[in-house]
Amino acid sequence: MSSELKWNSTEMMTIAASRILQNEMICFVGIGIPSTAAILAKSMHAPELFLVYESGTVNTNPQKLPLSIGDGELANRALSVVGMPEIFNYWLQPGRIDMGFLGAAQIDKFANINTTIIGSDYKNPKVRLPGAGGAPEISGACKEVVVILKHSPRAFVEKIDFITSLGFGSGPGSRKAAGLIGGGPSAVITDLGVLKPDPESCELTLVQIHPGVTVEEVKENTSWDLKVASSVTVTGEPTQVELEKVRSLVASSRN
């Protein structure tokens, strides 16, 4: 780690996610870290990034973090505001969205996502989570999906308690069998590194670690025997400008 710059794992995860976004890409954004990453990318290297939110804001340009999809900050700077049915029927379901950003409570080796319950009994779970929202359709129809979550054995599990959003099901062919048009998860970004699906098996594979993190640390925080790429790269350290912008955005949500 640079002696001049200090950052925490959440900041590193957010910055790594922002770097994936490219200029003129159409991105379906969620609240929280996905919003932070998207706004950061738009202010840094992708000024023409086209942001779409579930609530109906199209090509928006928020200057601070929205507290929810209904936050007026999204509508104030949007090219247009349309009904939610149009967002799904026109933008999402026909495959017009390049990338969707999703969070998760649990994820398995085939990038299937759970945001519904913790526990095997749906009617009486240990924890009832926020639920699906538009995540199943985002996962099903976007050209690619990036999942963002913190890395721990409780989150990266051998078998998730409920499949809210299909990643690659049980492996190759599962998405086609389910009739999904989207390409599925292209990356899982965590506070420890980046995982990508193997082109043949679809199983998540560690391809990148963040500065100061070891491969063993990532494996210890995964509940299955995580595959590791033959050559694992190290994420570039955050720049001072990236850190300043991330911190300013986070601070804006508290005011």
Beta-carbon contacts of 163 under 8 Å, excluding residues fewer than 6 positions away, are: 112, 113, 114
- Residue type (1 letter), 124: N
Instruction: Answer positive or negative: Cα dihedral of 243, 245, 248, 250.
Output: negative
CB 125 within 8 A of CB 171: no
Residues annotated as catalytic (active site), given as ranges: 54
- Grouping H, G, I as helix, E, B as strand and the rest as coil, residue 29 is strand
Neighbouring C-alpha atoms within 13 Å toward the C-beta of 32: 11
Give the helix ranges, DSSP H, for 21-55. Answer: 33-44
Structure tokens at 215: 């491969």
Query: Closest Cα partner for 201 from 168, 159, 164?
Result: 168
For residue 160, the one-letter residue type is: I
